[in-house]
Structures are given as C-alpha cells and as structure tokens.
Amino acid sequence: MAPDGSTRPLRREGYPIARCTVARLMAGMGIRGVQRGKKRWTTVVDETAPRPADLVDRQFVATRPNELWLADITYASTWGGWLYVAFILDVHSRMIVGWQLADHLRTDLVLDALEMAIWRRDVTLGSLVHHSDRGCQYTSFRYSDRLAQAGIAASVGSKGDSYDNAMAESLNGTYKAELVKLHGPWRTRAELELATIEWIDWYNERRLHGEIGDIPPAELETDYYRHHQAEEAA
C-alpha cells in the first residue's frame, strides 16, 4: 500500500495525517507498499469458436449495479502446484460478485463463478452486460448458453490485449499484490482458499476504493439503493 493509500482510512476515521508522515513511519518500521509482479498467461483463445461482439469498447462505465460485469482469471502458486481464480466484478460499485478457485482452467472454473454471481444478484432488473477476454472458457458453448439463459448479454474484447478488460486485470493485480504475494508462500489449496474468502470480504465490505469516492463497494451499493428507494417514494 502506498503512503497516500494509508492516509485515507485514517482520515475517514477522523485522524488528520499527512502523507509524508505515513511515509516516514513506514520507513522507520521497515514497511513498504505492495508491488505488482509479472503476469502469467491464462488466456487460451479458441479461434474457431463463435465470438460475441465487443459491447464495451474499453469504456468501463456503469450508472447502476448489475449493468456491467467484468470477468477474468488470475493465478497463484502453492507448494502443491498452480491454482487459478476466476473473478466477476461489478463495474459500478467495484464489488466482487462471483468467484471460484480451482487447480484447472476448464470451463467449470468460470462457470462456477458465474453461477455464484447470478445466485447473489438480481439480474432481472434492467439489462446486464457480461464482458470478458477472448479466452476459450468464456466463449465456450456452456458458458454462452448460461449467459443467454439468465438474460445476460455477452461481450468479448475485440483487440485481444489487456486493455480490452483493463479493470478486471487491475483487480487481478490487486488480489495478487495484497494477498497472494504479500502473505505467501501458500502451502495448500485450502489455505489459499480460506485466505481468498477473507480477502474478498475485506475488499467488498471495508477496503476503500479511490475510484468510487474512497468508500467500500458495499457502502456505495447501500447508498445507491437508499437513494433510489427515496426517489421512488417521493
């Protein structure tokens, strides 16, 4: 965490503190901010599979929850081998709405994350777009069919690089920097899975996000629905 990131929670709780003070204290205690590393490739493109259009065009903007979801896969190493984590992120609130961890990159990995997101959210109110990269898991018949069953519009990046799904890539980098690398090495899948559950809870409920006004995703959604209900009652 950078010094400026450390001051926001303190100021939110009523403790005025300068960025330089946090930097000095961190240096004195031997603490440094988390750093992001190099990417491991998890996307395998199936050029023969039908591909949905790119409905997002790198414009990661939403005016309400459940308007635009972003999906992607990242990874972590354990003593027992590589593990892969699929996330689904709500663009409006930055809430992680679905996730799954597995030791493989088959379609079941991303499909389980999607099922969690559909179970947790009401996708019947308004249109919803699901955007991903061109990985074969996301363009598979099973995945596309499940999106269609739920009434969710599929969108796939057209350029084939990280900018096509930049916000999801950023979430992956945050997860690896704040949990996987910071608290590793990981011995077992169960150990990482439990830590991931705890990290997601913190990320959704307590972590302050600068892009949404230095509040947690859960708080933003609560404020949104409270305001929306007040407008309907007026």
Integer angstrom CA distances of residue 129 from 85, 152, 171: 21, 6, 18
Pick the CATH number of 68-231 from 3.30.70.270, 3.40.50.620, 3.30.420.10, 3.30.70.940: 3.30.420.10
Provide the residue ranges of all domains of the chain, joining segments of one domain with +. Answer: 3-33, 68-231
- Torsion-angle region of residue 14: left (phi > 0), alpha (psi -120 to 50) or beta? left
Q: Quick: pLDDT tens for 110-145.
A: 999 999 999 999 999 889 999 999 999 999 999 999
Q: Quick: pLDDT tens for 205-229.
A: 999 999 999 999 999 999 999 998 8
What is the reported pLDDT for 128? 98
What is the reported pLDDT for 2? 45
Is the pTM higher than 0.85? no
Q: Quick: pLDDT tens for 24-44.
A: 555 555 555 555 555 554 555
